Structure formats: C-alpha cells, structure tokens
Amino acid sequence: MLEFFKEQLVEVQEELKDLYKQRRNAGVEARGSYDNRISMLKKELANLEQEIAALRTQKTTNSTNENAMSKSEKQDIETLVRAGQTAEAVDRIVQYSNNRKLSLIVANFRHHHEQYVRGLLTYRDYTVEANKMNDFLLDFLI
C-alpha cells in the first residue's frame, strides 16, 4: 500500500509541475481554472503525504513493538500465564504491543476481572474468561 501511495504522490507532483507551466502561458481568463485545479492537487498531495507518513509510522511502530520483547520476556510472560497469573501477564504484554486485537481482548478480560473482584462474577465464569485470555496470550507469544 505504501508503494501505491508513493506512486500516486509522484504522479500528482508531475501533474502540478505541468499545470504550473501551462498556467504561466495561459491567458488571464484561463488562470482561474488552473488555480482551482492546482489548489485541488495541492490538497491531494497533502493527503497523500499524510497517508505515507501514517503508513511509515505504523510500519515502524509495529516492527519496534515486535522486536521490543526479548525471548526471556516472552518466556516470563508464558510462565505467568501457565501459573494462572493472567492479570499480571496481561499487564506485562500490553507494554510491548499496540496490536488492536490484543487491546480489545485485554479490555474484555480486565472488565471481567474487575467484575470478579467486585463479586459480580462467579469464579466459574471468571475462570472461563481467564482461560480464553490465556489461550490468546499463548498464541500471541508464538
């Protein structure tokens, strides 16, 4: 997707160059239409630059987060999960990743954990949710 936006950016820049050349040679009555088209292309150019910057940031963030967790940290989190300390494992893994699916599942688990602590959720129901979270965490660490 990044390559596509880069290609579009180059095309818009070339078209802008051409329009500036044509406007310079145009009569007074035609300059307004050139100015309008140039204005539209500048907005499109700005949007493309924002999209490219966002994709680069996303790509950098994803690779940084994936590399930030060492093998020993993964093993520590896995040990916590296997010991039944799901809440602590969740708190640790969230520090290393901004994965959207992980964020949603963590929010769901924290909601159930809070309900359990308040006495609004039975141990049986809490255990089901904790086991779902444990399964996801173990899959996520692989």
| pTM assigned to the model | 0.48
What is the reported pLDDT for 22? 92
| Three-state DSSP state, 27 | coil
In the chain, what is the greatest distance between 2 CA atoms, to the nearest angstrom? 81
pLDDT in tens, 20-32: 999 998 888 888 8
Do 26 and 54 lie in a common domain? yes
What is the reported pLDDT for 68? 63
Residue 113 tokens read as 């954990």
What lies within 8 Å, CB to CB, of 97 at 6+ separation is 65, 66, 69, 140
Do 57 and 91 lie in a common domain? no
The last residue of one of the domains, among 32, 66, 100, is: 66
Low-confidence stretches of the chain (pLDDT beneath 50): 64-67
Give how many domains the chain has, as a whole number.
2
Give me the domain span that covers residue 90: 70-141
What is the reported pLDDT for 1? 66
What DSSP letter does each residue of 73-109 carry, written as one string? HHHHHHHHHHTT-HHHHHHHHHTT---HHHHHHHHHH
What lies within 8 Å, CB to CB, of 86 at 6+ separation is 80, 109, 113, 130, 133, 134, 137
Q: Which amino acid is at 135?
A: D
Do 40 and 75 lie in a common domain? no
Do 59 and 77 lie in a common domain? no
| Three-state DSSP state, 119 | coil
Q: In whole angstroms, give the CA distance from residue 136 to residue 55.
A: 27
